[in-house]
Amino acid sequence: MEIILKQDVINLGYKDDIVTVKDGYANNYLLPQGMAIMATPSNKKQLQETLRQRAHKQEKLLKEAETLKAALEGKNVRIATKVGESGQLFGAVNNIQIADALKEQYNYDVDRKKIAVDGSKIKTVGTYTAIVNIYRDIKAELNIEVVSEDAPAEA
């Protein structure tokens, strides 16, 4: 069955994509949840008109996303936190702390939901890699350096 996605669906597609899925998935999940509509000829025509009107806005978003990617790519974000004797953190460093550190250190406002850390949780002192999903397929890679609060700051 062909459907038009009304919002981003993980492992399926992005908003306004026309995708083919099994009938049961569409009828029992996507359509009742309001995540998609049937891809009828009239809905396809309406979608094309919407996409045409949105095209110039997309260009602007794409340029902003590329600029942000260039600015973020390879940045080193330093996060100081409480550390125990063995180098274990009290708790874990999460996306909120990474987003706050980006705002504080580089003045970049990134949505915390768009930050993914390799290994899912940071629980020890060290250097990690985080990926920021800026826009659709545009992603930036950050270096996260987790240090003890007691460690001297870099000059």
Question: Are 97 and 75 contacting, i.e. CB atoms less than 8 angstroms apart?
Answer: no
The pTM assigned to this predicted structure is 0.63
Instruction: Report in angstroms the alpha-carbon separations of 98 from 45, 64, 136.
Output: 42, 21, 21
Question: Are 19 and 3 contacting, i.e. CB atoms less than 8 angstroms apart?
Answer: yes
- pLDDT of 154 over the 60 cut: no
18 CA to centre of own chain: 22
Average pLDDT over residues 53-60: 86
Selection from 73, 137, 58 nearest residue 108 by Cα = 73
33 CA to centre of own chain: 22
Pairing of strands 76-81, 138-148: parallel
Residue pLDDT, tens place only, 35-44:
999 999 999 9
Q: Which domains does the chain have, with CATH numbers?
A: 2-61 (3.40.5.10), 70-148 (3.10.430.100)
Residue pLDDT, tens place only, 139-152:
999 999 999 887 66
d(CA 150, CA 17): 50
Residue pLDDT, tens place only, 78-102:
999 888 888 788 888 888 999 999 9
